[in-house]
Structures are given as C-alpha cells and as structure tokens.
Amino acid sequence: MTSAPHHAAWLRAARQSLTVGEAPPTPPGPGQILVRNRAIAINPFDGIVQSLGSVVTPWLRYPAVLGSDLAGEVLAVGPGVSRFAPGDRVVGLALGVEKAANHAAEGAFQEHVILREACTARIPPGLAYEQAAVLPLAFATAACGLFLPRHLGLRRPSVASVEQAADQAVLVWGASTSVGSCAVQLVAAAGYAVIAICSARQFEHARRLGASACVDYHDPAARERIVDALGRRELAGVLCLAVGAAGACIDVAARCPGPRKVAMASTPVSLADAPLEGQFGWKLRRLARLALGFAGLALRARRGGVRTSAIWGSSVVQDPWGSRLFEDFLEPALASGRFRPAPQPLVVGSGLEAIPEAMATLRRGVSARKVVVALPGALPG
C-alpha cells in the first residue's frame, strides 16, 4: 500500500472555516513516511494560522492543511528511509505549514499524512495514540529554546539518568503549558534543577515531571519568590512560555547571577482571538500593541543586560543535533519511561469534523491539558 484517497480538514483560503473533503493520494518521497493518522493534537498556532495566516505564514499556499501534531501507524516509507517499516506505531511533527515544506500533504489535520523521518519517533506498545499526540510541537519547541546555541544553549539532555548539578537552575515560566510539560522534563534530563512557574493547582503536575521548586505566577511577590527559590545557584536560563510573561522573565534574569538569557516562545499580547471576518480594526489595534510590546521588551532587556531570543519550535530539526532529537532522545526516552507524554490529553471528539470545536476548546483555555481529536475511523489503507 503506498497511498489512497482519503479525507482532510481543508483551509481552502485565508480566514475561512475548515471544511472536510477528499484529499489526493500522495506517495512518500525520499526520507518521508506515509502515516495513517489516529490522533491529532491542537496547538494555539493552528488557530493563529487560520485567522492570521497573511501575517504569520505569508508563504502559505491554499488550499492548505493545518496541524503539527499526530500519532498513527506507518503505511509506507519513501526511498532511503531505514528507521521505519509499515505497521510501526509512531508520533510525528507535521511540517505542512512550514515555509520549507508548504505542502498540504504534510499537514496533520487529515487521515493520511506525510511525515519526515527526522521528525518521527516510534512509540512504546502500551502508549495510546491520543497520549502520544500531545508531544511533537511542544517537545520540539522546548528543545529548541532550551538547547540550541542561539537560544539558551544549555547542556543537552541524556536518556541515561544524570546527576543534578547543585549550582545551576533553569526557570520554566509556564510549566503547566504543553511546551512547559516537556521543558521541565528536558531540563531535568539535562541535569539542572527546575524552577517551575505555574498556578498553585498545577504544582503537583510540575513536581511529578521533575520540578524542584514551584512558584505561582498569580502571587504578586512571584519574582522575589523565584529569587529565593534560586538561592545561591546560578540561573542558567529562562524559558518563557506564557503570553505577556516575558517582562517578568527579563526582570528575573536581570536580577540573578548567570548568563542572563531569556528564550521566548510566546508573544507579549495574545493573537489567539483574531476574528475570521472583519479583522481590519482588530489587526490595527492588536498588531500595534504587539509591536509596542516587543519594543518594550527590547528596551527592558537592554537595560537589564539580558539577551532575549524568539523561538520557532519546528526549526529545531534544521539543527544537526536537533535533526536527531526524535531518534536519539524521544524514541528511547519514551521506551524507557524516562520521558513521559504530558500533559494529559483532553479528547474532545472523534473524526476530522471535530477539529473546529477542538480549536474552540483550546481558545477558551486549558490548564495542563492538551486538546486532542481521535481518528478511529480513518480510512483503511
């Protein structure tokens, strides 16, 4: 079996609703894998591309298929693929809307998806597709911000257990987000202490994943509490994963001993509520606030002597080390239990028709959950 007609949730033009329709068969090319999709996870980016594609992904060709996260089983492999065989259960990062791919067949929101070998990992037999699907973009984004030299440049994580350095800690602001749930585990696997910032109801979640100290971001004295939690250790870096939190992250980095680096995955103001229609006024106001927000952060960082960087998570696989991350870290770490899929999936429906409601659920907000759609009825290969 190479490929067959199937269904996709199409974004037929910018700012349109998704519509489910037939998609052409696409055979996997060199280094590619064809996967029968069993579970899709939703990311904030999906809704932002749908409503603000002309701003955030101006290269996108329509009709497009959105979606970064999926788990399923391999149907066929392309030339040169040696790590996978038909029948393998895998999780993968779909690159359909990435500039370098820009290819509807590689978007996650469809029944049969083309994945790249470097962005795919086998999953252990006991791991449900719905659980595995929470990982790819969150894992890639966390690894990108934490370990690439242009961001925090931390020591790399190890699949073997590592001793925690007594003198260095990393701050993960947004530890209960999907990206944060991966970041806390990766930082611990790299041998640093983790100071986790989340709401108090998620302290236990962060501790289970490896955080050694937790601070509630609602606490007006949060910055002081972080400095106290750091104690005499050096702050090796700050990963900022919450909209509007970068100012506080910069302030903390400026106050603490260490390299004063903040890697930011989120924006100073939210872009998640852009309307599909009548956007002009919204764009004018929000994009102006966004530009002002970034300018304010740049000024604050300069004053505090802090180096900031903006993360594009999927770019991690263009790095020589990052291109082996799914193979050398994620796959063995999932198999050994050293890395766990987190947060828990919130399965809101089944079938491609459930995706718009799943995206709306994420827009309304989740706490330490990843919104997932199951695809049990995907067409047989």
- Which residue ranges make up the site for ligand NAP (CB under 6 A)? 43-45, 137-138, 141, 173-174, 176-179, 197-199, 202, 217, 241-243, 245, 265-266, 311-313, 366-368
Minimum distance from CB of 218 to ligand NAP (Å)?
8
- The CA distance from 156 to 152, in Å, is 11
Smaller CB separation from ligand NAP, 3 or 57: 57
* Identity of residue 53: G
CB of 29 to ligand NAP, least distance (A): 25
Instruction: Give the distance, in angstroms, between the CA of residue 315 and the centroid of all CA atoms in the same chain.
Output: 11
The distance between the two most distant Cα atoms of the chain, rounded to a whole number of Å, is 60
Given the complex with ligand NAP, which of 371 and 378 has the nearer CB atom?
371
Q: Report H helices in 113-239.
A: 129-132, 136-147, 178-189, 203-209, 222-230
CB of 362 to ligand NAP, least distance (A): 6
Residue 58 CB, nearest distance to ligand NAP (Å)? Answer: 17
Nearer to ligand NAP among residue 241 and residue 334 (C-beta): 241
Residue (90 or 249) nearer to ligand NAP, CB: 249
**3 versus 43: smaller Cβ distance to ligand NAP:** 43
CA atoms in the 13 A half-sphere facing the CB of 92: 31
Name the residue nearer to ligand NAP (CB basis): 44 or 78: 44
At its nearest, how many Å lie between ligand NAP and the CB of residue 347?
A: 15
**173 token code pair:** 């602001």
Cβ 209 vs Cβ 344: under 8 Å: no
> In whole angstroms, how close is the CB of 10 to ligand NAP at the nearest point?
23
Catalogue the E-assigned strands of the chain: 6-11, 19-23, 32-41, 64-65, 69-77, 89-93, 112-116, 120-122, 168-173, 193-198, 213-216, 234-240, 261-264, 307-310, 344-350, 369-374
